[in-house]
Structure 1
Amino acid sequence: MAIQLARHRRVFGLRTVVASAIALALTNQVFAQDNASEEEIEAITVTATKRAQVIYEVPIAISAFSGDELATQGITDLTDVGKFVPNLNVTGFSAGHTSSANPFIRGIGLQDHLITTDPGVSVYVDGVYLGRQVGQNWNLNNIERIEVLRGPQGTLYGRNSVGGAINIITKQPDEVTVTKAGFELGSRGRLKGDVFINREINETMAYNVNAGYNSRDGIGEFINVPDAEYNVGENEEFYGRLSFKWAPHDDFSFVVTADFNDNEGGLRPYQTLIDEVPTGAYYQGARWGTPFPFGPLRNSDTAANPYDNATGTKEVTMVSNEARGISATADWNWNDDYASKVVVSHRSSKYKAGLDDDGTIYELDQFPEVGEADQTSIEFQLNGYIGENMDFVSGIYFFNEKGSNLQDPASGALFNGSATLLDLTQETTSKAIFFNLGYDMTEDLRLSGGLRYTDDEKEATADVGIGPVYAEDAWNEVSFDISANYTLENGLNIYGSIQNGYQSGQFPARPYCLFGDPNCFVASENITAINYEMGLKGQVTDSFSMSVALFNTDYEDLPYQVSTTAEGGFNTTNLVVEQTSRGVEFESTWELTEQFKVHSSLGYIDVDVDEQGGVKPVAPLTPEVTASISPSYHMTLEGGNDLDIRLDYSYRGDMYGEPTSDPGRHTLVESRQLVNIDISYTNVEGDYTLSLYGRNIFDERYDNARLNTGDYVLQILSNDPSEFGVRYSKHF
């Protein structure tokens, strides 16, 4: 926070049983709660509006997770966060990579990863936007908190937040001496170790460092590649983060942070379902009718076990990524009224992945792929107070990203025995200026509003083997938001808001349409969204807190990705639609006794998409119902030692893997129910905790997504079967 709020501002079977408890409890979760005190539930302070506020006073739908509670909930990455927030679903498959995370909030997101596509949900780490999700699946250690903002956030967070934003805030260096080590050992070969150290160097300088290793065995085998380095779904990761803070006085601080992440493993599990009809190209043996020596391609040519892989090409068995970042943040409180903040960052990422789409030993659709991206961002903020009742947040923002994706014939990408190529490059430059003003009309009524002007430019080149095609485009948009929140006599906060969001247009991801139309490499129009929302949040009693939000969001020029097989390869085009999303989200914490507490969440969304050529699309990867319930029990044992027992249940309803509900497309992703359990023992001194954990204890096997190309269906499988183990953490 740029200004420390020193003034008058108020900164105030078992599956069936568990599933039934959701309907009976009606006690839906705000994960934004820390441990409860004897008199009231303590509310976390968030910075979702780029100012410090108690979560109940923020006039948007927001969920927040305390970093210290993540492990006990079985949350190890962003995919797990998506199991416990209403109307949030996180998938991960991009090019078969095991470390990608693709969030969908309220029906908006992006499953793809290529440089010409942008996500609809923005992810930030300490104020730095992560432009690419492959290879940057943030390891959730050294986390202060995670904030999930639902609905368009175009004013304060800018483009690519038309669905929402996820903020990851890490622990800053301070004067407290901390040495903490953790170790985890579990089934499926789980081995994890990490250490966190925080030290004061002198009265003005401090540092912290977080480093770790995490590995897990595979879930299947590459049955036709005996020398594959990794098994299906296997993962091995090294990560680290180092921060230095210099604070020569109370009104100025300067923090420099560097981080890295290195990951290698086996291709994520998936299954190819071949359309076995006599006229089908795959059934005939190839797309264009050239038969294999062994006859038609059948489902029997794929692996019998869906978690095995029958490819015969070693190049597509391994995935890897490298991510590096450095940032500098300066906070300067000029006086009691004004402060400034500067955030400068440079990040780079590289990955290797790729699929054998047909999933057989034959060299038919194999696409080894490499990609990289470099981004630089600069943000300057000027924040402060005007008079006694008015405050503001303002700033300017610059972002530049250069990246590429390459599927190269020299790497073994073959199509019907002939070479294919997909070579994409793009440079994006985004500039913005924003201003948000808040006014306390009375002690109980606050009004706020903001504007943001964004100017985007993209230059892209595509080559699918017939020569490069260059294109460029530019977009600009003014985003706005207006909100009001009022504190009732009982302390609850009621709010209403109108939020506007914007995303620049996008070039086709896989433009094999160039074989038939050399002018098809054209960007879509800019995407706009306007969200109408009202909500009620706060502490109803000393033991019960809740948050409810009703929303209606209209989207214009929203591109859905539609993929088909084409002459050159795997063609992806944009189906541009108008969409209306409406729904309700309900979260709460209920402390039944001093020992027994229940968190829960419930989300419902209805998505209406305008007809396209007489066909009514559906929002992909968007379950109509999301829910979770998390009872926990705390007891103090004889001698003062503590025992904590926690159960976490998560439900995601049926959804479709692409923008159609046609049963003949076979892209229905069925509902899933996941249950985690954690039993933790903490000694009376509080310097160590020993835990027994179970994740997905009923071994639910489910689809992450489904994609129909016309010749076959890619059934993208989860990579998280049941896991049981022990976790130990020690404070020195």
Structure 2
Amino acid sequence: MNLRVAKSVLACALVSASTLAIAQDDAAGGVTADDETAAGNVILVTAQRREESLQETPVAVSALTADKLEQLAITEVGDLGRAVPNLQVLPVTANPSALQIGLRGGAEQAGGLIVSEPVVGIYVDDVYRARLQGANAQLGDIERVEVLRGPQGTLYGRNNFSGAFKLITKTPSPSNEWINASLSYGTFDTIIAQSSIGQGLSDTLGASVSVLYRDQGDGWIYNRAQDRDVGQEENLVVRGKLALDTGPLRAALSVSYGKDTNDGYISAAGSFPRVPTGRSDFVSADEATPRFGNDPYVTEFPQDSFGYTETTAISLNAEYDVSDSVTLRSITGYVDLNDGWRWDLVGGFEASPGVYSPGFDRTSIANANQFTQELQALGSTDGGLEWILGAFYFRESADQSLTDNIPIFFLFNLDPTTLDIKTDSWAIFGQATYELTDTLALTAGARYTEDDKSFDAEIQSGFGMPNPRTAVALDRKFSAFTPKIGLEAKLSDNAFAYASISKGFKAGGFNGLSVLNPLVLSSVYDEQTVWAYEGGLKLQSSDRRLTANTSVYYNDISGLQQTALVGPGSFAQQNVGSASVFGVEIEFAAEPIDGLNLFANIGYQDDDIKSLDPSSQAFVAGAKNLPLVSDWTLQGGFSYETPLGNTGYLSFGADARYVGDYWVEVTNSYFVDGYTRVNGFVSLETSDRRWKLSLQGQNLTDEVNYVSGAAGLPFPSLTILRPRTLQVSIGYSFD
């Protein structure tokens, strides 16, 4: 325990040692993004690659500031679904740093593979992150998170089929200095220490350093085969940033390192009732029963499992004002990723009394590195024209080795399957908005993207002495033209409406989850496209105490890419057909009285598979619906702050999220019934707003929720969310 505490305190000590270097002046610091998002002020976003008011941005955007993230205890990307309508962000069968994401009909459910790419683009300081491994990033030192809903095929490049996550970190300057530190302790012996310092070094130069360390010392699922709790995690994130602002030239160099080590993916030991012959309905996750008594948090695999993800990222963002109306911008990024995991997909099984065996034991070791370069020119004219032109280049090289031990079917380990993929992608794009009148504007844009991918793989294809192996060598190009046209109208100072038609694109690719099946490994799936029709209305009261934003959309999807079980241990991504999704999203926020903040989000979706390829597993199973599409998602909550005389402030609040029924995978073999999880917090803050003591609770009603898995195996794989957790924190903040 001493070593863990020492690591935690070290992060806070970095800030404490630097405190004397910053002038403790309440007047220090200018208007930051956090100031702009305070009650009664304007929320600024960069969804269209330029800074503008959220209420006058013709895109469906959920903007979460640092204060909002803290209030909702959103500490990692995987938590974002709790605050965004119609968004599903769930664990995936890899390790806790990887995700499966579903949004507006798009879904990617094989996030632990180097051949898998997201349907939602993930950006850190405008640098694209290609891998879903490591996507569940810890949200330390974050100024703002923007979740763009709907295809971003014009301005954001690769694989922004359903939307984009934008993580914006703090940028230091002489007018934006801060110091933050906190230390927390919670359920499962969890220690979290984080600190961040930003300081001006001269009139034009600023620097910042941030550290986040998290150690969950105890697991939350009991492994009866090993007689211990499993599910431990340890995270470390360090970021340094150097920012220059000379007036016409602005540049920021960022270097970050993150490491996540854990017990890997943990499958809960549950059982579905057998489906009687001739039964016409499907199996619900609510019908799953714990394999051992009434305890759902139990598993029984005898082998050690693990997971790790190590990410190093370097980025340089620079822009230069050529004139008052024209700016040139460069965004350069490099990301190196090392990822590995071992887990039992079905949680093992008891072969005989007291004798345990693996059920589906898979090990992966992967490495990837990417380079991106984006160039932009953007400007405006006195005649009411705003424009942006750009070019984007992406190069990635990645390899992965997969080893399987499946005693259910075989008696020994299979030889490794090796995967090697290289991708070169480039794009050119442009978008312009022209003011037709003082209140009406027309937007038109387009992007051309071309992906060139090569894939080399080798797999065991039978049994012998030695085992026969089959090599696969593939090369494919995928391209798309993705236009957008839209109208926007400023109906009044407090009402804004927009309508748009746009196209989204996700490149095709290759398959890697294959056991003794070269046909799966050599199969190629084509690109997936969507035509999106959307209209929105953004309303705000004149005193900015009430905001109501609504979007209505219809997505027409072709070449639908979905993952399905195609044999013992083999999962293939297939183009299964075409589908449509109709949806409504409403985001509501209000401050009816000083200190009381209310919010509510409503998401409704109606999906329909219009046609299926007869060769797809979805057709064979008679699927009718898309995976990870809930009919309803409802989120709501409040926070209230009241002064305690001259001593400080008391704050408390709660939020709840309801997720409606959804199908787990494309063959519709089983679905998750709607469920609700409730969270809350209470905090005490000193009168100078420097010190804060808080208590936060997640899943306060201690609900048991199976949310994903695979039902087509001899022993079902069940992904279960965590039970109730509590956390107490003490923090210091100065800005």
Smaller-chain TM-score range?
Answer: 0.7 to 0.9
Which secondary structure does the structure 2 equivalent of 1:221 belong to? strand
Which secondary structure does the structure 2 equivalent of 1:99 belong to? coil
Q: State the alpha-carbon separation in 2 of the partners of residues 580 and 383 from structure 1.
A: 35
* 1:712 Cα offset (Å): 3.5
Query: Contact conserved, 1:275 with 1:711, CA < 8 A, in 2?
Result: no
Q: State the alpha-carbon separation in 1 of the partners of residues 179 and 35 from structure 2.
A: 26
* 1:513 Cα offset (Å): 7.2
Q: State the alpha-carbon separation in 1 of the partners of residues 293 and 231 from structure 2.
A: 15
Corresponding residue for 1:350? Answer: 338
Farther-moved stretch of structure 1 (417-426 vs 232-241): 417-426
Q: State the alpha-carbon separation in 2 of the partners of residues 534 and 414 from structure 1.
A: 52
Which secondary structure does the structure 2 equivalent of 1:462 belong to? strand
State how 1:615-626 maps to structure 2 within 5 Å. Answer: 615-626=622-633
Corresponding residue for 1:454? Answer: 449
Q: State the alpha-carbon separation in 2 of the partners of residues 201 and 544 from structure 1.
A: 40
TM-score by length of 1: 0.86
Corresponding residue for 2:75? Answer: 76
Quick check: 1:633 aligned with 2:640? yes
* 1:318 Cα offset (Å): 1.5
Q: State the alpha-carbon separation in 2 of the partners of residues 637 and 362 from structure 1.
A: 59
Q: 1:679 aligns with which of 678, 682, 686?
A: 682
Quick check: 1:194 aligned with 2:191? no
Corresponding residue for 1:292? Answer: none
Query: Contact conserved, 2:562 with 2:666, CA < 8 A, in 1?
Result: yes
Which secondary structure does the structure 1 equivalent of 2:106 belong to? coil
Corresponding residue for 1:56? Answer: 55
Quick check: 1:385 aligned with 2:380? yes
Query: Contact conserved, 1:153 with 1:161, CA < 8 A, in 2?
Result: yes
Corresponding residue for 1:407? Answer: 402
Which secondary structure does the structure 2 equivalent of 1:464 belong to? strand
Query: Contact conserved, 2:267 with 2:344, CA < 8 A, in 1?
Result: no
* 1:575 Cα offset (Å): 4.4
Quick check: 1:260 aligned with 2:257? yes
Quick check: 1:688 aligned with 2:691? yes
Corresponding residue for 2:700? Answer: 697
- Listed one character per residue, the Cα deviations across residues 577-597 of structure 1 (whole Å, up to 9, x for unaligned) are 201011100111122212322
Q: Aligned in 2, Cα 1:159/1:638: closer, same or farther, shift over 3 Å?
A: same
Higher relative contact order (CA 8 A, sep 6+): 1
Which secondary structure does the structure 2 equivalent of 1:271 belong to? coil
Q: State the alpha-carbon separation in 2 of the partners of residues 707 and 174 from structure 1.
A: 50
Corresponding residue for 1:474? Answer: 477
Farther-moved stretch of structure 1 (143-152 vs 483-492): 483-492
- Listed one character per residue, the Cα deviations across residues 642-698 of structure 1 (whole Å, up to 9, x for unaligned) are 22212111111111111133xxx3x21122211111112221111111112111111
Which secondary structure does the structure 1 equivalent of 2:708 belong to? strand
Q: Aligned in 2, Cα 1:427/1:32: closer, same or farther, shift over 3 Å?
A: farther
Q: State the alpha-carbon separation in 1 of the partners of residues 449 and 472 from structure 2.
A: 27
Corresponding residue for 2:222? Answer: 221
* 1:704 Cα offset (Å): 2.7
Q: State the alpha-carbon separation in 2 of the partners of residues 304 and 602 from structure 1.
A: 34
* 1:411 Cα offset (Å): 13
State how 1:258-297 maps to structure 2 within 5 Å. Answer: 258-271=255-268
Q: State the alpha-carbon separation in 1 of the partners of residues 131 and 709 from structure 2.
A: 22
State how 1:591-610 maps to structure 2 within 5 Å. Answer: 591-610=591-610
Quick check: 1:238 aligned with 2:250? no
State how 1:554-573 maps to structure 2 within 5 Å. Answer: 554-566=556-568, 569-573=569-573
Quick check: 1:729 aligned with 2:731? yes
Corresponding residue for 1:318? Answer: 306
Q: State the alpha-carbon separation in 2 of the partners of residues 278 and 501 from structure 1.
A: 39
Residue type at the aligned position of 1:401: E
Q: State the alpha-carbon separation in 2 of the partners of residues 581 and 32 from structure 1.
A: 37
Q: Aligned in 2, Cα 1:78/1:570: closer, same or farther, shift over 3 Å?
A: same
* 1:269 Cα offset (Å): 2.9
Corresponding residue for 2:184? Answer: 184
Q: Aligned in 2, Cα 1:410/1:223: closer, same or farther, shift over 3 Å?
A: closer
Query: Contact conserved, 2:124 with 2:167, CA < 8 A, in 1?
Result: yes
* 1:345 Cα offset (Å): 0.7
Quick check: 1:714 aligned with 2:717? yes
Unaligned ranges ≥5, structure 2: 1-33, 278-288, 350-355, 461-468
* 1:539 Cα offset (Å): 0.5
Query: Contact conserved, 1:445 with 1:485, CA < 8 A, in 2?
Result: yes
Query: Contact conserved, 1:399 with 1:430, CA < 8 A, in 2?
Result: yes
Q: Aligned in 2, Cα 1:488/1:703: closer, same or farther, shift over 3 Å?
A: same
Q: State the alpha-carbon separation in 2 of the partners of residues 443 and 636 from structure 1.
A: 44
* 1:300 Cα offset (Å): 10
Q: State the alpha-carbon separation in 2 of the partners of residues 487 and 702 from structure 1.
A: 44
State how 1:3-22 maps to structure 2 within 5 Å. Answer: none
Which secondary structure does the structure 1 equivalent of 2:221 belong to? coil
Residue type at the aligned position of 1:571: F
% identity of equivalent residues: 25
Which secondary structure does the structure 1 equivalent of 2:108 belong to? coil
Q: State the alpha-carbon separation in 1 of the partners of residues 412 and 441 from structure 2.
A: 66
Q: State the alpha-carbon separation in 1 of the partners of residues 541 and 609 from structure 2.
A: 37
Q: State the alpha-carbon separation in 2 of the partners of residues 633 and 301 from structure 1.
A: 43
Q: State the alpha-carbon separation in 2 of the partners of residues 272 and 574 from structure 1.
A: 29
- Listed one character per residue, the Cα deviations across residues 500-531 of structure 1 (whole Å, up to 9, x for unaligned) are 1111112123244744x48x613222111110
Farther-moved stretch of structure 1 (412-421 vs 266-275): 412-421
- Listed one character per residue, the Cα deviations across residues 458-510 of structure 1 (whole Å, up to 9, x for unaligned) are 10122221222111100111111111111113630011011111111121232
Query: Contact conserved, 2:72 with 2:655, CA < 8 A, in 1?
Result: yes
Which secondary structure does the structure 2 equivalent of 1:324 belong to? strand
Q: State the alpha-carbon separation in 1 of the partners of residues 477 and 172 from structure 2.
A: 41
Query: Contact conserved, 2:424 with 2:453, CA < 8 A, in 1?
Result: yes
Query: Contact conserved, 2:526 with 2:575, CA < 8 A, in 1?
Result: no
TM-score by length of 2: 0.86
Quick check: 1:308 aligned with 2:298? yes
* 1:239 Cα offset (Å): 1.0
Q: Aligned in 2, Cα 1:122/1:682: closer, same or farther, shift over 3 Å?
A: same
Q: State the alpha-carbon separation in 2 of the partners of residues 219 and 643 from structure 1.
A: 32
What is the RMSD of the two structures over their aligned residues, measured on CA atoms?
Answer: 2.6
Q: State the alpha-carbon separation in 2 of the partners of residues 71 and 477 from structure 1.
A: 40
Which secondary structure does the structure 1 equivalent of 2:67 belong to? helix
Quick check: 1:539 aligned with 2:540? yes
Residue type at the aligned position of 2:427: A
Which secondary structure does the structure 2 equivalent of 1:270 belong to? coil
Which secondary structure does the structure 1 equivalent of 2:78 belong to? helix
Q: Which runs of 4+ in 1 moved over 4 A?
A: 272-280, 299-305, 409-414
Unaligned ranges ≥5, structure 1: 1-30, 281-298
Corresponding residue for 1:134? Answer: 133
* 1:416 Cα offset (Å): 2.8
Q: State the alpha-carbon separation in 1 of the partners of residues 412 and 276 from structure 2.
A: 21
Quick check: 1:125 aligned with 2:124? yes
Corresponding residue for 2:649? Answer: 642
Which secondary structure does the structure 2 equivalent of 1:400 belong to? strand
State how 1:512-527 maps to structure 2 within 5 Å. Answer: 512=515, 514-515=517-518, 517=519, 521-527=522-528
Q: State the alpha-carbon separation in 2 of the partners of residues 444 and 300 from structure 1.
A: 60
- Listed one character per residue, the Cα deviations across residues 243-273 of structure 1 (whole Å, up to 9, x for unaligned) are 01123x2110221111011111113332355
Query: Contact conserved, 1:565 with 1:709, CA < 8 A, in 2?
Result: no
Residue type at the aligned position of 1:109: A
Query: Contact conserved, 1:627 with 1:651, CA < 8 A, in 2?
Result: yes
* 1:624 Cα offset (Å): 1.1
